[in-house]
Amino acid sequence: MNFSRSIFLGAILFLFQCVISPIKNTPMKEENRILSWDKREAEAVKILTDLIRIKSVRGNEKQAAEYIRSIFEKEGIKTKFISEPGHPDRVNLIAELEPNIPTSEKGLILGNHLDVVEADPKEWTEDPFAGVIKEGRIHGRGALDCKGLIAMQIVSFLELKRSTIPLKRKIMFLSMADEESGSERGARFLLKAHPELFKGYGYMLNEGSFGTKDVAIPGSIIFNIQYAEKGNLWLNVRAKGEQGHGSTPSQNYPGLRLLRFLTEVLEYDTDIRISEETQGFFYQLGSISSFPKSFILKNSNIPVLRRLLYGPIRASRQLSAITRNTKAVSGLKTEEGKGHNVLSSLAEAKLDVRLLPGFDPLEYLKEIQKVAEKYEVEVEPAATVPTDISTLDSILFQKLASVATRKIPGSVATPFISPGKTDNAYFRQIGMECYGLIPVLLNEKELTMLHGKNESISIENLKLGTQILFEILYQMN
C-alpha cells in the first residue's frame, strides 16, 4: 500500500513538473481574404527593389524615409520625420491609422529599421545595391534584414486602409534609424526625447526572428517568435607594457598577456542552461518530433532528460546561443608597425558577451575583471543592455502564433529568445509587449545570408510575409 502510494505521489509530482505548451487555443475570426496577392505582388516587389537601391549603410535613412513618405502621401496618409538635432539624415518616420471610434484598446506598432550593414560587391554574385530580380528571388543588402519586412509592412498597412476594415485600435508604421549600430539615433533617441509619440500603444511587431524550414528538425516548419533577448555586455580590453624585440621576448609582454586572458575568459562559464525562458521553445519542438525525442523535448526541465539534449545543443550554433552565455572576440589590435620583430607596448581587444535571462551584465563584468587581474589586463564596458522579455499570454503573441500556423498547415510556433539585440529591447523597457518575427520560411542556407554575402528573398516568401502581417492587423482589430 505504501509502495503504491509512493508511486502515485511520484507520478503526481512528475506531472506537476511537466512543461505545458505556451500556445493557447486563441479565439480567431474567420480568415480575411481581402488582400489579393495577384494585385499586390508587383507593388511589393517594386517597393523592395527600390528600397534596396537606396544605399542606407549605417546612415542615409532620410532618402529611404522620403521614398516611403511618397508612397503614403499618394494614399492620403500623413507622415512625420523626426531626427536627433545635428543628425538630419538619420531620420525616423512615423505614420498612423486611427481607430474608427474612441477606444481603450492599446495600439499596435509595426516596427522596422531603415539602415543596413556593409556589403562588398566583389564578394557578391549580384550587385548588393541593384535590387536584381532573378529566378524568383530579389537580391540585395536588406532583402531579409530588414527592407523585406518594410515592404511587407507597407503593403499590409496600405491594404488595411484601403479595405475600410473598422479599426478598434490605432496602428503605427514606424521606420527607425541606426538599429545596426546601437539605435542611438533611432529607438533610444525617440523614447528619450519623444515618449509622447507612443502614448496609447501597448504592442509592437518588429524584426527579431524568422520562420524556418527543415532546420531545427528535418521536415519541420517552425515560426520562431522572438519574445525575449539576451543581455549585451560589450567590452574594451587593453594590455599595456614596454615595447620589446621579437627575438628576445619576455614572459609578460602585452600581446601574450592579452592572449592568455582571452583564452581563459572564453573558457569561463560555458555551461548549457535550459531555463524557464527556453523550456517553451523545446516543448514546441517536441510537439513535432517522434517518440522518444518528443518526450525528452517536452520535459526539458527535468534534469535527467535535460542532459540528453546537451549533445544536439553543442552541435548547433543557434541552440548553443540560446542556452549559454556566449563570448566572442570581435576585435584585435596591436601597434607593432609593419615589421615582425617588434613587441607592441599596447595590445587591445573587443569582447562581445551575450547573457541569458537571470544574469546582470554589471555583475558578470566583475567576474571577467577578476580574471583580467591575473594577467594585468584592463577591462572596461563599452555598452551594457540588460535582458528583456515580454509575456507569452498577450493577445499579440497568441494571435501571431495562431495566424502563422493557420497559414501553413503542419507548422508550429515557438517562443524564441534572440541571441542578438533589436529595437524591441528599448520598447520593452517602457512596458510595451514586443515580439519579433519576419514571417517568412528560410532554410539553413538562407539563414547564413543575414549580414552575409548574397542576401536575397524569394518572391514567394515576400507574399507569405505580407499575407501573415495583414492577417495579424485584421485579427488585432
How far is residue 279 from each of residues 211, 400, 424, measured CA to CA in Å?
19, 19, 22
Cell of 378: 584592463
pLDDT range class, residue 4, cuts 50, 70, 90? low
Q: Average the pLDDT over each of 48-52, 90-94, 160-164 and give the range with the smallest value.
A: 160-164
Asked whether the predicted pLDDT for residue 115 surpasses 80, the reply is yes
Q: Average the pLDDT over each of 13-27, 99-113, 196-210 and give the range with the smallest value.
A: 13-27
Q: What is the pLDDT of residues 398-412, one digit of tens each?
A: 999 999 999 999 999
Distance CA(382)–CA(324), nearest Å, equals: 21
Q: What angle do CA 211, 299, 16 make, to 5 degrees?
A: 125
Average of pLDDT values for 61-80?
98
Asked whether the predicted pLDDT for residue 8 surpasses 60, the reply is no
351 or 317, higher pLDDT: 351
What is the chain's Cα-based Rg? 25
pLDDT range class, residue 18, cuts 50, 70, 90? low
Name the 3-class secondary structure at 96. Answer: strand
Percent of the chain with pLDDT over 70: 96
DSSP for 270-296 reads ------HHHHHHHHHHHTTS-TTHHHH
In 3D space, the residue among 339, 341, 328, 350 whose CA is nearest the CA of residue 258 turns out to be: 350
Give 132: exposed, middle or buried? Use CB within 10 Å, 0-12, 13-18, 19+: middle
125: amino acid identity, one letter: T
According to DSSP, the β-strands at 79-82 and 92-97 are antiparallel
3-state DSSP percent of the chain in helix, strand and coil, to 5: 40, 25, 35
Q: What is the pLDDT of residues 191-202, one digit of tens each?
A: 999 999 999 999
In total, the chain counts a number of residues equal to 477
Helix 459-475 and helix 37-52, axial crossing angle in degrees, nearest 10: 110
Distance CA(351)–CA(379), nearest Å, equals: 10
- Residue 317: predicted pLDDT: 86
What is the number of other CB atoms lying within 10 angstroms of the CB of residue 431?
A: 8
Cβ-based neighbours of 222, under 8 Å, separated by 6 or more: 211, 212, 215, 216, 284, 285, 288, 411, 412, 413, 414
Percent of the chain with pLDDT over 90: 86
Cβ-based neighbours of 442, under 8 Å, separated by 6 or more: 144, 210, 211, 212, 213, 215, 461
- Residue 2: predicted pLDDT: 54
For the whole model, what pTM was predicted? 0.91
What is the number of other CB atoms lying within 10 angstroms of the CB of residue 3?
A: 7
219 or 458, higher pLDDT: 458
Strand locations in 79-190, DSSP E? 79-82, 92-97, 107-113, 133-134, 137-139, 171-176
pLDDT range class, residue 100, cuts 50, 70, 90? confident
Q: What is the pLDDT of residues 251-263, one digit of tens each?
A: 899 999 999 999 9
- Residue 16: predicted pLDDT: 46
DSSP for 46-69 reads HHHHHHHTS--BTS-HHHHHHHHH
Q: How many helices (H) and strands (E) does the chain have?
A: 16, 18
Asked whether the predicted pLDDT for residue 15 surpasses 90, the reply is no
Asked whether the predicted pLDDT for residue 143 surpasses 80, the reply is yes
Give 163: exposed, middle or buried? Use CB within 10 Å, 0-12, 13-18, 19+: middle
Contact at 8 Å (CB) between 221 and 227? Answer: no
- Residue 79: predicted pLDDT: 98
CA dihedral 118, 124, 128, 132 (to 10 degrees): -170
Give 25: exposed, middle or buried? Use CB within 10 Å, 0-12, 13-18, 19+: exposed
- Residue 52: predicted pLDDT: 98
According to DSSP, the β-strands at 377-385 and 231-240 are antiparallel
According to DSSP, the β-strands at 201-213 and 107-113 are parallel
Asked whether the predicted pLDDT for residue 216 surpasses 90, the reply is no
Asked whether the predicted pLDDT for residue 438 surpasses 90, the reply is yes
pLDDT range class, residue 19, cuts 50, 70, 90? confident
Asked whether the predicted pLDDT for residue 184 surpasses 50, the reply is yes
- Residue 17: predicted pLDDT: 59
Average of pLDDT values for 331-350?
90
Distance CA(68)–CA(364), nearest Å, equals: 42
Instruction: Catalogue all structural domains in the chain, each as residue range(s) with its CATH number.
Output: 37-214+391-476 (3.40.630.10), 231-385 (3.30.70.360)
What is the number of other CB atoms lying within 10 angstroms of the CB of residue 295?
A: 12
Average of pLDDT values for 19-35?
88
Q: In sequence order, what are the beta bridge partners of 418?
A: 229
pLDDT range class, residue 6, cuts 50, 70, 90? very low
According to DSSP, residue 197 is labeled G
Contact at 8 Å (CB) between 181 and 189? Answer: no
Cell of 202: 501597448
336 or 165, higher pLDDT: 165
